[in-house]
């Protein structure tokens, strides 16, 4: 007699994570939200044309403070691993980001950074053997288009070196995220110490590059001091601690969409604080980008016939 089998359950889309994971997603999303304040703080309070100095001041003091609070130094292989991660996630990323900012209109740079989900998907498949879903590929393309609608203005000028730096910075950060995910965190090491290792390594790389590229630091007034304090303590120390905690606990495919929140926040702050216009097309782009971020946090549950 043929065995009687239960009918297959239909495949349906459900959240890919429990409520606790959704909470981690919300906390991790605060990192790119704070990064979205960088443009406003930089243009309103910081010395002009000193992006590398700003990057060094953001990273190194925050890293040293995290080391002092965490009271843990790397051991064994983690000395070179922390140096590699700090270079990718902080040092090299900042240098390439600022080079792109110098040579490209801001909207072009933001649009290039929005292709990170596509780069992460390609690298995850090539090096980790992880296949992304069609849903996330569509969301990645839609997210890039949404950011472009938000930030691109008028005639767009393309510079080959600037485009290469923009894509390189996005790729460097993507590799950093994948390596952070692959290596994880050493057992018994808190996220604060882990963040401090990378910020210190990245900051030490940025200091000589800033001195060579921009010369001696200028005088810093009280508004600039407040701006640097915000970027270092909130936009870097707190933001990267939340970010690296999320990297360790969230699927890399979903995580790679969260930086799309950064240009969205920058656009909204420009409208609220700088009296910049917000066109209907920008609102469409904002909605598309936010929808792509939300869609990437869900994936279908696979069902098998029993």
- Per-residue CA distances from 7 to 12, 13, 14, 208, 305 (Å): 15, 19, 20, 66, 7
- Per-residue CA distances from 155 to 30, 109, 303 (Å): 32, 14, 49
Supply the pLDDT for residue 14. Answer: 43
What residue has token string 């604080």?
Answer: 273
pLDDT tens digits, 33-75: 999 888 888 888 988 888 889 889 999 999 999 999 999 999 9
**Element housing 52 (H / E):** helix 51-70
DSSP 127-154: II-PPPPHHHHHHHHHHHHHHHHHH--S
Supply the pLDDT for residue 300. Answer: 58
List strand residue ranges (DSSP E) for the chain, in order: 12-15, 298-301
Query: In this structure, what token pair is assigned to residue 254?
Result: 């979903």
Supply the pLDDT for residue 155. Answer: 59
- Beta-carbon contacts of residue 107 (< 8 Å; ≥ 6 apart): 148, 151, 152, 153, 156
Can you tell me the distance from the alpha carbon of 19 to that of 39, in angstroms, rounded to the nearest whole number?
33
Supply the pLDDT for residue 224. Answer: 92
pLDDT tens digits, 69-116: 999 999 999 999 999 999 999 999 888 887 776 676 656 667 777 888
pLDDT under 50 in the chain at which residues?
1-17, 302-306
Supply the pLDDT for residue 124. Answer: 81
- Long-range pairs, 22-25, Cβ under 8 A, ≥24: 22/297, 24/245, 24/246, 24/249, 24/250, 25/246, 25/250, 25/254, 25/258, 25/297
Calculate the average pLDDT of the chain. Answer: 84
Geometric angle at alpha carbon 198, from 16 and 95, rounded to 5°: 100
Domain boundaries, the chain: 17-298
Paired residues of 12 in beta bridges: 301
CA-nearest of 190, 148, 147, 173 to 256 is 173
């Amino acid at each position: 007699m043929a065995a009687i089998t239960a009918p297959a359950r239909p495949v349906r889309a459900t959240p890919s994570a429990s409520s606790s994971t959704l909470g981690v997603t919300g906390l991790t999303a605060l990192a790119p939200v704070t990064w979205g304040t960088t443009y406003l703080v930089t243009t309103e309070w910081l010395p002009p044309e000193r992006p590398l100095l700003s990057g060094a001041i953001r990273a190194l003091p925050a890293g040293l403070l995290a080391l002092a609070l965490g009271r843990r130094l790397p051991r064994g292989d983690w000395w070179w691993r922390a140096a590699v991660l700090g270079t990718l996630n902080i040092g090299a990323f900042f240098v390439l980001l600022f080079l792109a900012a110098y040579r490209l209109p801001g909207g072009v740079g933001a649009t290039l950074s929005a292709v990170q989900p596509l780069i992460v998907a390609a690298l995850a498949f090539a090096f980790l053997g992880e296949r992304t879903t069609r849903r996330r590929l569509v969301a990645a393309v839609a997210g890039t288009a949404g950011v472009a609608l938000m930030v691109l203005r008028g005639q767009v000028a393309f510079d080959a070196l600037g485009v290469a730096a923009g894509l390189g910075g996005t790729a460097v950060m993507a590799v950093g995220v994948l390596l952070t995910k692959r290596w994880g965190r050493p057992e018994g090491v808190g996220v604060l110490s882990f963040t401090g290792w990378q910020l210190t390594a990245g900051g030490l790389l940025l200091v000589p590059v800033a001195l060579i590229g921009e010369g001696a630091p200028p005088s810093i007034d009280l508004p600039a001091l407040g701006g640097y304090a915000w970027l270092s303590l909130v936009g870097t120390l707190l933001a990267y601690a939340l970010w690296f905690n999320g990297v360790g606990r969230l699927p890399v495919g979903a995580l790679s969409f969260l930086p799309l929140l950064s240009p969205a926040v920058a656009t909204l702050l420009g409208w609220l604080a700088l009296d910049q216009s917000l066109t209907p097309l920008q609102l469409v782009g904002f909605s598309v980008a936010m929808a792509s971020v939300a869609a990437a946090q869900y994936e279908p549950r696979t069902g098998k016939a029993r």
